[in-house]
Amino acid sequence: MWSLALTTLLHDRGKLVTALVGVVFSIVLVNTQGGLFLGFVMRASLLVDHSRADIWVGHKHMHNVDFPSDIPRRWLSRIRGLPEVRRADPYLVGWADMALPSGGYESVVVVGVDPGSLLGNVWNVQDGTPEAILQNDAIIIDRCEVEKLEGIRLGEVREIGGRRARVVGMSEGIIGFLVAPYVFTTYDRAAAYTRKPADRCSYFLVKLEPDADPRQACAAIRHRLPDAEAMPTAEYARTSLDFWMTRTGLGISFGAATLLGLLVGMVMVSQTLYAMVLDRLGEFGTFKAIGAQESQIVTILLVQATTMTLFGTAIGLGVVSAIQYAFSTPRAPIIIPWWLSAGSFVLVLAICLASAYLPYMRIRKVDPLTVLQS
């Protein structure tokens, strides 16, 4: 039955190509749109994802890593006192102005890390090392922000919050969801740049003992500090992401655009399948006259739809890889995780199988008698 379905499918190459184009179009669209979307929204949790911490502790209503509310530093000792906690350090995320050579200012998000653990420090440093922030007045910024910061260079000295800041390293691809560049430095220096009171910080980053359960540790922290919130890193990353998704309608916009493209692709597929069947109604009549069962006719259609999806997906993913290779940049990354590709395949397969239903309804009406009367 498979060979019968495939051979007849391959016969009409023109229509097959049209249907394949539909599938390829849908796969490329879903993956590219989805990849761009992920690349964009994953910036919202960039600091959390790369923090190397197990738990983030912050204000009771913490909802977004870039907009923390201050918490008292004295809470730190209560967290460190928990048996599950191996290490807990203060972390600071705050806003400050960097002076520009032109005389203007640029708002930056200053990230202050504990010099002992360097939890939550900069990563993917291309010029210099992450540990360079331990040097005097050291800051590390991202290469992608050079233009925004009016040609800032390695070794250059600037002012942030009226204090001296020297560029000791440059990372690649650390661009936040906000337009402000990230500036990584040590905790105390960050507090000075942002004029944060010495007894306040933004978060505590916690490393747990190897066999400790993060959820239980979070519960223990919340129990000890009723005014604090504690979340496992993955959960806080999701919370930060959800903040932008739900408050900006971003997900709906991207989703709608993707859905629209998907629909266009699927209309192409279903129309082509239908046209292919219409062209071959007589042949299906012949199958019926010879004695084919309804289930065999359905099998033929499903095999054809599945084959088109498989080939279309394979070609589509090839095109997506090429697009990703050619167009993905640190500023506009296209992130395509395996589950996005797998999900798009399942989605397109489901729609292809559903679109086989329309031609099937047409075939059901074919009377094998027509074969004898023509």
Partner 1 sequence: MTANHASTNRAEMDVTIRAEGLHKTYGRGSAATPVLRGIDLQVRRGQCVYLAGPSGSGKTTLLSIIGGILSADRGEVCVLGEDLATLAPKQRARLRLNRLGFVFQRFHLIRGLTVLGNVRVPLTLQGVPESQARRRAMELLEAVGIPEKASARPEQLSGGQCQRVAFARALVSNPDIILADEPTASLDAANGQEVMRLLRGLTAEQGRTVVVVTHDQRIFHFADIVYWLENGEVVSSGKPDAVPHPAPVATDRGISQ
- Residue 130 makes contact with partner 1 by CB under 8 A: no
Binding segment (CB under 8 A) for partner 1, from list 93-101, 240-248, 276-284, 316-324:
276-284
Binding segment (CB under 8 A) for partner 1, from list 27-35, 191-199, 281-289, 347-355:
281-289
- Residue 292 makes contact with partner 1 by CB under 8 A: yes
Least Å distance between CB 369 and partner 1? 5
- Residue 70 makes contact with partner 1 by CB under 8 A: no
In sequence order, the 6+-apart residues with CB closer than 8 A to the CB of 67 are: none
CA distance 123 to 296: 58
Question: Of 282, 322, 350, 354, which one interacts with partner 1 (CB under 8 A)?
Answer: 282
Question: Of 124, 296, 306, 328, which one interacts with partner 1 (CB under 8 A)?
Answer: 296
Question: Of 17, 234, 332, 369, which one interacts with partner 1 (CB under 8 A)?
Answer: 369
Interface of this chain with partner 1, residues 330 to 359, rule: CB under 8 A = none
Beta-strand pair 85-99/203-208 = antiparallel
- Residue 275 makes contact with partner 1 by CB under 8 A: no
Q: With respect to partner 1, which residue has the nearer C-beta, 353 or 371?
A: 371
Is there a contact between 35 and 334 (Cβ–Cβ < 8 Å)?
A: yes
Q: With respect to partner 1, which residue has the nearer C-beta, 6 or 21?
A: 6
Least Å distance between CB 366 and partner 1? 12
Q: With respect to partner 1, which residue has the nearer C-beta, 12 or 242?
A: 12
- Residue 290 makes contact with partner 1 by CB under 8 A: yes
DSSP state of 227: T
CA distance 179 to 137: 24
| Buried-exposed string 241-271: b where 16+ CB fall within 10 A, e elsewhere | bbbbbeeeebeeebeeebeebbeebbebbbb
Least Å distance between CB 361 and partner 1? 17
* Identity of the residue numbered 17: V
Helix (H, G, I), strand (E, B) or coil at 57: strand
Least Å distance between CB 372 and partner 1? 5
> How open is the CA angle 85-91-92, to the nearest 5 degrees?
165
- Residue 374 makes contact with partner 1 by CB under 8 A: yes
- Residue 371 makes contact with partner 1 by CB under 8 A: yes
Binding segment (CB under 8 A) for partner 1, from list 96-104, 139-147, 292-300, 350-358:
292-300
Q: With respect to partner 1, which residue has the nearer C-beta, 227 or 367?
A: 367
> Among all chains, which residue has been given the structure tokens 């074969």?
371
Is there a contact between 300 and 5 (Cβ–Cβ < 8 Å)?
A: yes
Q: Which two tokens stand for residue 126?
A: 């291309």
CA distance 286 to 289: 5
Q: If we measure between CA atoms, which residue out of 326, 333, 329, 258 comes closest to residue 49?
A: 333
- Residue 287 makes contact with partner 1 by CB under 8 A: yes
Interface of this chain with partner 1, residues 2 to 61, rule: CB under 8 A = 3-4, 7-12
- Total binding residues toward partner 1, as defined by CB under 8 A: 30
- Residue 364 makes contact with partner 1 by CB under 8 A: no
Is there a contact between 109 and 92 (Cβ–Cβ < 8 Å)?
A: no
CA distance 76 to 164: 29
Interface of this chain with partner 1, residues 297 to 326, rule: CB under 8 A = none
Report phi then psi at 39, rounded to 5. Answer: -60, -35
Task: Give the binding site for partner 1 (CB under 8 A).
Answer: 1, 3-4, 7-12, 280, 282-283, 285-294, 296, 367-369, 371-374
